[in-house]
């Protein structure tokens, strides 16, 4: 069974998490992996109804996502979590809970995020229509030691995705394409060679 892992995206609304996660999911499927994308909006609708952007609710939201990620990860799934997850403590708790955890910070200036924000969340927060919105009317705590930073105002989604794939290879979650996977142990290889030698093939 493939080793499961969770790629945990964190970053402000409009920083490019969803676009990169879709591309990453597609590439991981090409790699032959079973993939589940836990997109923030979908999770908020189906798993976290009634929660808003207050810190207490954000912590509960992160706990619930981490729990689902843990179950999928331990069953060999490549999980992609897409949520703002603005607090360092909740991200660290998710890392401990899940185990095979790769934190990717989608770094992007607030003004660029606001320009990209098709739902207008930043503007609504600035107008006071949404309370405690991370990165606008409430702080967003930048990751202290993320496994990877992708700067989405300087990189294309393709470039950011390729950096994530390379990090997954570096961490041993993906085998480099074209690499040989050893099926037999060295003792088994010796026995096979001995048999082939006795039969005159080598």
Token representation of residue 10: 């964190």
3-state secondary structure of 64: helix
CA neighbor of 65 nearest in space, from 88, 36, 30: 36
3-state secondary structure of 38: strand
**Is 186 part of the annotated catalytic residue set?**
no
**What are φ and ψ of residue 99, in 5° steps?**
90, -85
Catalytic residue among 12, 15, 81, 85: 85
For the annotated catalytic residues, the residue numbers are: 85
């Amino acid at each position: 069974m493939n080793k499961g892992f969770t790629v945990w995206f964190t970053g402000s609304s409009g920083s490019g998490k969803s676009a990169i996660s879709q591309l990453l999911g597609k590439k991981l499927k090409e790699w032959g992996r079973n993939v589940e994308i836990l997109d923030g909006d979908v999770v908020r609708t189906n798993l976290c109804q009634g929660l808003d952007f207050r810190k207490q609710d954000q912590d509960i939201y992160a706990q619930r996502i981490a729990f689902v990620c843990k179950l999928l990860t331990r069953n060999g799934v490549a999980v992609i979590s897409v949520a703002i997850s603005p607090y360092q403590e909740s991200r660290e708790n998710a890392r401990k809970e899940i185990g095979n955890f790769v934190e990717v910070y989608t770094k992007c200036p607030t003004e660029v995020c606001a320009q990209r924000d098709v739902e207008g969340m930043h503007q609504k927060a600035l107008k006071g229509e949404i309370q405690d919105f991370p990165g606008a009317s409430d702080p967003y705590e930048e990751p202290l030691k993320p496994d990877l930073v992708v700067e989405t105002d300087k990189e294309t989604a393709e470039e950011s995705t390729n950096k994530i794939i390379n990090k997954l290879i570096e961490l041993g979650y993906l085998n480099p394409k074209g690499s040989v996977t050893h099926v037999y142990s060295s003792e088994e290889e010796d026995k096979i060679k001995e048999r082939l030698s006795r039969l005159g093939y080598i």
